[in-house]
Structure 1
Amino acid sequence: MEVPHESETQRLFSGQNSAPPRIIGIGTAVPGTSYTQQEMLDEFGITDPRVRSIFLNSAIERRGLTLPPLLPDGTRAMETQGELLQKHATTGVAMAREAIEACLKDAGLGLADVGYLCCVTTTGLLTPGFSALLIRELGIDVHCSRLDVVGMGCNAGLNALTAVAGWAKAHPGEIALMVCVEACSAAYVFDGTMRSSVVNSLFGDGSAAIAVTSGTGATEVAGAGGPARGPALLKFSSCIIPDAVDAMRYDWDDDHGKFSFYLDPEVPYVVGAHAEIALDKLLEDTGLRLSDISHWVIHSGGKKVIDSVRANLGLSRHDVRHTTGVLRDHGNISSGSFLFSYERLRSEGIATPGEFGIFMTMGPGSTIEMALVAW
Structure 2
Amino acid sequence: MGVDLSMTISLDRPETSTATTTTTAATTATKARIIGVGTAVTPTSYAQDELLDLLQITDPKVRSVFLNSAIGRRHLSLPPADDAGVRVPEAQGDLLDKHKRLAVEMGAEALRICLERAGAELSDLRHLCCVTSTGFLTPGLSALLIRELGIDRHCSRTDIVGMGCNAGLNALNVVAGWAAAHPGELTVVLCAEACSAAYALDSTMRTAVVNSLFGDGAAAIALRGDDLASAGSAAGPRILDFASCIITDAVDAMRYDWDRDLGRFSFYLDPQIPYVVGAHAEPVVDRLLGRRGLRRSEIDHWLVHSGGKKVIDAVVVNLGLSRHDVRHTTGVLRDNGNVSSASFLFSYERLQHEGVTGPGEYGVLMTMGPGSTIETALVQW
Structure 1 length-normalised TM = 0.93
Equivalent position to 1:79, from 90, 94, 100: 90
Shift of 1:191: 1.6
Shift of 1:217: 11
SS at structure 2 position matched to 1:180: strand
Superposed CA RMSD: 1.6
String of CA shifts for 1:131-188, please: whole Å, max 9, x gaps.
Answer: 0000000111000010000000000000000011010000000000110000001000
SS at structure 2 position matched to 1:209: strand
Equivalent position to 2:241, from 222, 235, 240: 235
Q: Counterparts of 1:198 and 1:41 in 2: how far apart (Å)?
A: 13
Amino acid at match of 2:290: E
Q: Counterparts of 2:206 and 2:88 in 1: how far apart (Å)?
A: 20
Shift of 1:45: 1.0
- 2:171 pairs with 1:160: yes
Shift of 1:216: 6.4
Equivalent position to 1:263, from 260, 269, 291: 269
Q: Counterparts of 2:296 and 2:340 in 1: how far apart (Å)?
A: 26
Amino acid at match of 2:235: R
Equivalent position to 1:147, from 147, 158, 174: 158
Check whether the contact 1:20–1:233 (CA below 8 A) recurs between aligned residues. yes
Range moving further from structure 2, 69-78 or 150-159: 69-78
Match of 1:192 in 2: 203
SS at structure 1 position matched to 2:164: coil
Match of 2:19 in 1: none
Check whether the contact 1:174–1:217 (CA below 8 A) recurs between aligned residues. no
Map 1:109-124 onto structure 2 (within 5 A): 109-124=120-135
Q: Counterparts of 2:129 and 2:229 in 1: how far apart (Å)?
A: 19
Equivalent position to 1:326, from 322, 332, 343: 332
String of CA shifts for 1:240-276, please: whole Å, max 9, x gaps.
Answer: 0000001100011111111000000000000000000
Shift of 1:218: 11
SS at structure 2 position matched to 1:288: coil
Amino acid at match of 2:362: F
SS at structure 2 position matched to 1:154: helix
Equivalent position to 1:89, from 75, 85, 100: 100
Shift of 1:16: 5.9
- 2:362 pairs with 1:362: no
Amino acid at match of 1:214: G
Check whether the contact 2:27–2:228 (CA below 8 A) recurs between aligned residues. no
Map 1:198-213 onto structure 2 (within 5 A): 198-213=209-224
Check whether the contact 1:63–1:329 (CA below 8 A) recurs between aligned residues. yes
- 2:42 pairs with 1:36: no
Shift of 1:227: 3.2
Check whether the contact 2:28–2:229 (CA below 8 A) recurs between aligned residues. no
Check whether the contact 2:237–2:379 (CA below 8 A) recurs between aligned residues. yes
Equivalent position to 1:136, from 138, 143, 147: 147
Match of 2:289 in 1: 283
Match of 2:5 in 1: none
Q: Counterparts of 1:97 and 1:372 in 2: how far apart (Å)?
A: 28
Q: Counterparts of 2:179 and 2:291 in 1: how far apart (Å)?
A: 24
Q: Counterparts of 1:199 and 1:117 in 2: how far apart (Å)?
A: 29
Q: Percent identity?
A: 66
Structure 2 residues not aligned, in runs of 5+: 1-21
Check whether the contact 1:173–1:218 (CA below 8 A) recurs between aligned residues. no
Q: Counterparts of 2:285 and 2:32 in 1: how far apart (Å)?
A: 21
Check whether the contact 1:297–1:338 (CA below 8 A) recurs between aligned residues. yes
Structure 2 length-normalised TM = 0.92
Q: Counterparts of 2:211 and 2:373 in 1: how far apart (Å)?
A: 22
Match of 1:250 in 2: 256
Structure 1 residues not aligned, in runs of 5+: 1-10, 221-225
Check whether the contact 1:131–1:148 (CA below 8 A) recurs between aligned residues. yes
Q: Counterparts of 1:323 and 1:139 in 2: how far apart (Å)?
A: 34
Q: Counterparts of 1:177 and 1:94 in 2: how far apart (Å)?
A: 17
Amino acid at match of 2:195: C
SS at structure 2 position matched to 1:369: strand
Shift of 1:285: 2.5
Indicate how the Cα distance of structure 1 residues 117 and 217 shifts in structure 2: closer, same or farther if over 3 A, else same. farther
Range moving further from structure 2, 33-42 or 277-286: 277-286
Check whether the contact 2:328–2:351 (CA below 8 A) recurs between aligned residues. yes
Q: Counterparts of 2:287 and 2:227 in 1: how far apart (Å)?
A: 30
Q: Counterparts of 1:72 and 1:229 in 2: how far apart (Å)?
A: 54
